Amino acid sequence: MTLFGYRVPMMASLLVWCVLWEIVGRL
């Protein structure tokens, strides 16, 4: 997966998405 032009390992990308969903859910 590529995020902001950086190569991101699969586990790291999963953690990022979990954090993003937590933030979105609190809005």
Domain boundaries, the chain: 1-27
Provide the pLDDT for residue 16: 87
Q: Tokens 């790291």 sit at which residue?
A: 12
CA distance linking residue 22 with residue 6, whole number of Å: 22
Model pLDDT for residues 1-27, shown as the tens digit of each residue:
676 777 878 888 889 899 999 999 998
Provide the pLDDT for residue 26: 92
Provide the pLDDT for residue 8: 74
- Kindly state the tokens that stand for 8: 């991101």
Provide the pLDDT for residue 4: 76
> pTM of the full predicted structure?
0.50
CA distance linking residue 26 with residue 11, whole number of Å: 23
What's the first-to-final CA gap in the chain, in angstroms?
Answer: 26
CA torsion through residues 10, 12, 22, 4, sign: negative
